[in-house]
């Protein structure tokens, strides 16, 4: 019989955050530029999967879904990721484009949360990114019926082999059912862990078409 004493006492697991402080006056007036600063720090600090972000969507019944995807671009308009447009997240965004993102860099005791609206990027930009992907990733995009029920793992392996054979030579074409979304932010919060749970939280929000900074209670 396994010993689950640790699991049974998870309420006693605690971490004290002491690495950094977050001064509102030190932050950029532009939250996207501030995000770039933190992301660069996370990359240079060799944080595990620094571009990984949780993406929350909801359907028409306000039933939420959550998964982890990878950030693949930052523009003046927001944050870009790619997916199968016929997946659960693609369908939910089509029905309700209000989404949320969360980046957690545990090694730096930092978190960034974003709320905004997701919109499809241009086909040209999606096609350009698709052509830059490794060939195996391109085949995966064609082979995966993302979020759809499948009978077993072998079904997916067989489908991959068929797609590989279909595009055995030459360039793999861009699939029309696949592409990018840009999340246009309406609020961005920067969180820095602090000792005794007195964390630093700074929220950017748009007021009169301009970003303002607010300090929030931990």
Q: Which residues are catalytic?
A: 197
- The pair of three-digit structure tokens given for residue 126, joined into one six-digit string: 């999606």
Report residue 145: phi and psi, to 5°.
-95, 70
> Which string of DSSP letters, residue by residue, matches the chain?
----TTGGGGGG------S----GGGS-SSHHHHHHHHHHHHHHTT-SSTTEEEEEEE-TT--EEEEEEE--EEETTEEEEEEETTSHHHHHHHH--EEEEEEEEGGGTEEEEEEEEEEE--HHHHHHHHHHS-HHHHHHHHH--TTS--S-HHHHHHHHHHHHHHT-SSPPPPPTTEEEEEEEEEEEEEEE--GGG--EEEEEEEETTEEEEEEE--
């Amino acid at each position: 019989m396994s010993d689950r004493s640790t699991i049974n006492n998870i309420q006693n697991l605690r971490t004290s955050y002491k690495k950094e402080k977050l001064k509102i006056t030190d932050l950029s007036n532009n939250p996207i530029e501030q995000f770039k600063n933190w992301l660069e720090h996370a990359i240079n600090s060799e944080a595990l999967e620094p571009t990984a972000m949780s993406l929350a969507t909801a359907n028409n019944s306000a039933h939420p879904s959550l998964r982890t995807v990878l950030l693949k671009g930052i523009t003046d308009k927001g944050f870009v990721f790619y997916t199968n447009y016929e997946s659960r997240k693609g369908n939910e965004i089509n029905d309700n484009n209000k989404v949320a993102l969360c980046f957690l860099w545990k090694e730096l005791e930092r978190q960034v949360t974003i709320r905004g609206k997701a919109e499809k990027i241009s086909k040209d930009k999606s096609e350009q990114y698709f052509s830059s992907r490794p060939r195996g990733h391109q085949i995966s995009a064609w082979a995966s019926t993302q979020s759809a029920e499948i009978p077993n793992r072998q079904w997916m392996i067989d489908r991959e082999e068929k797609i590989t054979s279909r595009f055995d030579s030459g360039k793999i074409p861009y699939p029309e059912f696949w592409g990018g979304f840009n999340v246009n932010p309406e609020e961005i919060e920067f969180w820095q862990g602090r000792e005794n749970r007195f964390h630093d939280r700074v929220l950017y929000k748009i007021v009169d078409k301009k970003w303002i900074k607010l300090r929030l209670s931990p």
